[in-house]
Structure 1
Amino acid sequence: MRTWHTIVGILLITTCTLLLEIPSDTWLSSATLSLILGSAALAYMAVSCLLAARWGFVERLFGGLDRVYEVHKWLGIWALVFASYHMVFKANLEVWNSVPILEWSKYWTRMVRQLSYVALGLIVLLALNRNIPYSQWRWWHKLSGPLFVIVILHWLSFKSPIALDTPSGIWLTVLCALGVLGALYKLLLYPLVAKAGEYQVSAVKVEKSSLHLELTPLGQGFAFKPGQFAFLSMQEKGLREPHPFTIASAHSEDGRIEFVIRALGDYTQRLRKQVKVGMRADLYAPYGRFKRPLEGAREIWIGGGVGISPFISWLQDEAAGQFDKATLVYCYNPSRAFPSVDTLQGMAQARGVDFVANSGGTESLAQTLRRTAAQTDPQQIQISFCGPKGLLGQVRELMNECKIPEGNLHYEFFEFR
C-alpha cells in the first residue's frame, strides 16, 4: 500500500458510512463536510497510532517500516488539516436528530472539544519539529497515545447522528480500539516484547565524523536479511533512546553485526564520543524490506553517504546470487567518506561488482546511468537507492532522461523523523 491509498481509502470509507446516517438532502451542506472531516481526522489518528506500534503485519502490508513511518507522518498532517475545518464549522443540523454517545455537561463537552484540537495540533507540531533534541522529542511524542484518548472522548461526547451500532459507529469504534491497543503496546509492551537481544560492543572504529560499530550477541543473535535495519539502544546514560541504523553486515554464524553511523545529530555525536568496547546494548530488530531485484536483472546500486550501509550488507551476503550484472555507485563527500573509497572498491571487486566513485555532484552517476542505458534496454535496468532525498530527486531526473521506468526504482526512505 502507498501513502495515498491509505489516506484516500480511509476518507472514502468514512464518507460512505456517514452518508448512510443522514438525509440525502443535507449531503452538500457545510455541516456534513465538517462531520466527515472531523470523523476522518479521528480515523487518521487511530490508524496513525496503530502504525506506530511497529507490528510485523503492518510493515509487510506497506512494504517496509520506512513506508509505515511516511504514512504515519502524513496521516497526522491531514488529520490536523481536517480537524481545523471541523473546528471552525458546526458539524450538526437540527434535522439529523443528533444525540451524544456519552452524556456530559456543556462545560465538559466544550472543554474536551477544545482540548482535542489542541492535543492533535501538539502531536503534529512536535512530530514535525526537527529543532527539538531527539531525547526530548521522543518522550514528548510518547504522549500521542494519551492525547488520542482525549480526541476519542470528544467524539463520544458531542452531538452527532453517529450511533455505535451504525456502520459509521462500528467503523470508528474498531479503528479507535485498534489505535488505543497500538498506543498501549508501544508505550508499555514494546520494550519487552520486541527486543531481539542483548549485545556487547566488540569493536569500535572512529573516523572523522563517522563511526563503525561491531556488536556480538550475549546469547543467541537474531536472524536478518541483508538490507534490513535495527533500533540500537545503548545501556548507557544519555544513549538509551532507540535509534534506527541499517545493518552493514551479512548474517554470520556467531551473530555478530556491524553498523556504519554518520555523526550528524545530537545522539549520534554523543554515541561517537562515548561508545567503548565492552558496552552493552539492546537491539530491536529486524525491520525493513530493502531487497535486491530479481536475479538476472541489470542492477545499479546507488548509496549516498551512510546510505551505503545496505549495499555493504549485500556485498557480504554469501548466499546471494550472481553479482556480475551489478554496478555500485558510491556518492560521497571526500572530506567525510566512510568507509573509504578504497575499502568499498576492494569489497566490490572481490564479489565481481563494478564500482563507481562519485565525489560531489552527480557527474559520474549520470555517466554510469547513460552508459548503462545505451548498452542495455532501459526497461531491464533495476536501480536500488539509499541516500538523502535531494539525491533521490536527482536520480529520478536522470532515470527520466535515460528512459528508465519509475517502477524500476527501489529505495528506502533515508529518514524517519
Structure 2
Amino acid sequence: MTRSGNLIPARLAAAWIVALAVVPAPFVATMAAFIRPVYRTAFMTPIALGVIAYVWMLEAVYLSCRPRWLDRLIGLPNIYMMHGVLGMLALILAAFHRADLPAFGPAKMYGNLAFWLLLAVVVLAVIFMARWIADLIPPIGWLKRQLERVFRHEINVWLHRIILIAVVLVCLHFHAIRYIVTVTPFIVLTDAATIAVLAWYAYSRWHERFGALHGRVISCTLAAPNVCRLTVRVPGISHGWEEGDFAFLRFPRVNGMKEYHPFSMANMPNGEDEAVFLIRGDGDFTRRLPTVAAAGTDVDMLPPFGRYRRFLDEHGGDRPIVVFAGGIGVTPLLPIIFRFGDGRRPVRVMYCAHDENGLLCRDELESWSQRTGSLLTLKVGRFTAEELRSAVTPDAVYLIAGPTGMTRTVRRVLRKAGVSAEDICYEPFAW
C-alpha cells in the first residue's frame, strides 16, 4: 500500500496520534500502575515495548477490516498504510522487547513463534502488497513478479492472515508469564480488547461472504488491448455510491477468484444499480476476467469506498478542478469529469498514456470537451514539468490518478508551483 494524497493534515495527523499513542496508552498505564514494584523498576521499559507492540498488532488487524467510516475520513490507502506501518513498528518493538527481556519455557516458545510469524507477514507485505516499494526498488519489483507466478491472489491473501495466529501466540505468551498474568486489570483489559478485535475481524469476514451485495455480470468486452470493460448489475449498489469511488469485487463461483479485488467505477452513480469497470489485465485475477466474466456470472460486491467526491465537497462548491490522469488511472476520474465538468464547476483535464491505445474513453472525453468548452489535453508519453505547471490554475483543487511515478512527479511539480498539499487528492491502488 502507498500514501494517499487526501492529505487532510488535521484528520490524518489525529489518526496517527490516536493509533500510535492514544490507543496503547491505557494498556501501558494499567500495566505500570498494577505490576509489582520490583518488575516495574527492573523491566518496565521492555515490558512497555511489548505491550505497545501487541496493541499495534491488534490495531493492524482492525484496520485490515477496512472500516468504511474511517475510509470516508482519511481514505482506504491511508488506512492500509497505517495497517502496514503499525505491523512493521510492532515488529521493531518486539525485537527490542525480546533482546531486553528474557523469557523461558512456554512463554519463550510462544513469543518466538509470534515474532517469526510477524516477520514473515511484514516481508510478504513488502514484497506483495506494497507496490510503491516495488516501484521504487527494482530488485523487489523483480522478486514480486517472480513469486506471483507461484503465489496467486487467493494464496497471497491467506498468507497475510498469519498475523491472526501471531496475535493469538502473543496473547498466550503474556498469559504464560507469572508476573504478568497476576496483573488482573491489565489481563482483563487486554483480553477484552483481543476478543473484541478478533470478533470484529470474524464478523467482517463473515459479512464479506454472506452480507455482501449480490449481482450478476451484464457484459465483459474489450475496451482496449489488455483492458476489459466489465458491466455488472448489483441491487443496492447505488446506496452510498459517490463519483470517483471504487468497490471490491469477487466471483464466488469461480475457483481462484473468490477473494475480493478493488476496482474503480468508471460511470456515475445511477438508479439502475449498474456499475462499469475498466480493468487492465495486470495480475492472475484480472487477466482471467475476459474468459470467466460471461454475462450472467454471479458477482459479489462490497459497498463503495473512496474520497474523491468527499474531497471536492470539502473544498468549496465552485472552485475549479484540474485533473491529472495517466493510463488506466483515468477510470475513477471519469465520473468526476463528466459530473462536475458539465456546467457545475470549471474542469481542466490533463491525460497521458504510454501509447494511443492507453488513452481510454478518448471519444467520450473529446465529445465532453467540445460540448462544454472545457480544456482537454491528451498526450502520448509523460507530460513535461513545464506542461504540468501550465495547468496550475488560481484557487483550483487537483485530482491525480495514475502510475506511482507519474503521481509523484505531478505532486512535486504542483508543490513547487505553490499549490497547498490540502488542495491535492490522489488515491493510488499501490497496495
The TM-score bracket by the shorter chain reads 0.7 to 0.9
User: Within 1, Cα distance between the matches of 2:114 and 2:180?
Assistant: 20
1:38 maps to what in 2? 50
Return closer, same or farther for 1:154/1:27 CA change in 2, 3 Å cut-off. Answer: closer
More moved, 18-27 vs 79-88: 18-27
More moved, 245-254 vs 49-58: 49-58
Q: How does 1:14-413 map to 2 (within 5 A)?
A: 14-21=27-34, 31-60=43-72, 62-90=73-101, 107-130=105-128, 131=144, 132-161=151-180, 165-166=184-185, 168-169=186-187, 172-193=190-211, 195-217=212-234, 219-223=235-239, 224-234=241-251, 235-291=253-309, 292=312, 293-317=315-339, 322-334=343-355, 336-363=357-384, 366-373=386-393, 376=394, 380-413=395-428
More moved, 207-216 vs 220-229: 220-229
Q: Deviations over 1:160-189 (max 9, x none)?
A: 4575554x5565344323321232223434
Give the letter for the 1:59 counterpart: D
User: Within 1, Cα distance between the matches of 2:93 and 2:422?
Assistant: 32
**Which fold has the larger relative contact order, with Cα–Cα distance below 8 Å and residues 6 or more apart in sequence?**
2
Return closer, same or farther for 1:297/1:369 CA change in 2, 3 Å cut-off. Answer: farther
Aligned residues: 391
Q: Deviations over 1:357-405 (max 9, x none)?
A: 2432232x642434534xx2xxx22111222332222122111221111
User: Within 2, Cα distance between the matches of 1:137 and 1:53?
Assistant: 16
User: Within 2, Cα distance between the matches of 1:273 and 1:335?
Assistant: 25
1:99 maps to what in 2? none
* Equivalent residues of 1:231, 1:242 under 8 A apart: yes
Q: Which runs of 5+ in 2 are unaligned?
A: 1-10, 129-143, 145-150
User: Within 2, Cα distance between the matches of 1:152 and 1:305?
Assistant: 46
Return closer, same or farther for 1:202/1:36 CA change in 2, 3 Å cut-off. Answer: same
RMSD: 2.9
* Equivalent residues of 1:332, 1:359 under 8 A apart: yes
* Equivalent residues of 1:196, 1:222 under 8 A apart: no
* Equivalent residues of 1:201, 1:281 under 8 A apart: no
User: Within 2, Cα distance between the matches of 1:350 and 1:241?
Assistant: 41
1:101 maps to what in 2? none
Give the letter for the 1:344 counterpart: L
Q: Give the % identical residues.
A: 20
Give the letter for the 2:193 counterpart: L
Residue 39 of structure 1: CA displacement? Answer: 0.8
Give the letter for the 2:126 counterpart: L
Larger % of helix: which? 2
User: Within 2, Cα distance between the matches of 1:16 and 1:91?
Assistant: 22
Residue 244 of structure 1: CA displacement? Answer: 0.3
Corresponding residue SS for 1:372:
coil
Return closer, same or farther for 1:386/1:129 CA change in 2, 3 Å cut-off. Answer: same
Residue 290 of structure 1: CA displacement? Answer: 2.1
Return closer, same or farther for 1:280/1:187 CA change in 2, 3 Å cut-off. Answer: closer
* Equivalent residues of 1:209, 1:262 under 8 A apart: yes
Corresponding residue SS for 1:385:
strand
Residue 236 of structure 1: CA displacement? Answer: 2.2
User: Within 2, Cα distance between the matches of 1:214 and 1:400?
Assistant: 38
Residue 298 of structure 1: CA displacement? Answer: 2.2
Residue 255 of structure 1: CA displacement? Answer: 1.4
Residue 156 of structure 1: CA displacement? Answer: 2.0
More moved, 290-299 vs 246-255: 290-299
Give the letter for the 2:157 counterpart: R
Return closer, same or farther for 1:144/1:325 CA change in 2, 3 Å cut-off. Answer: same
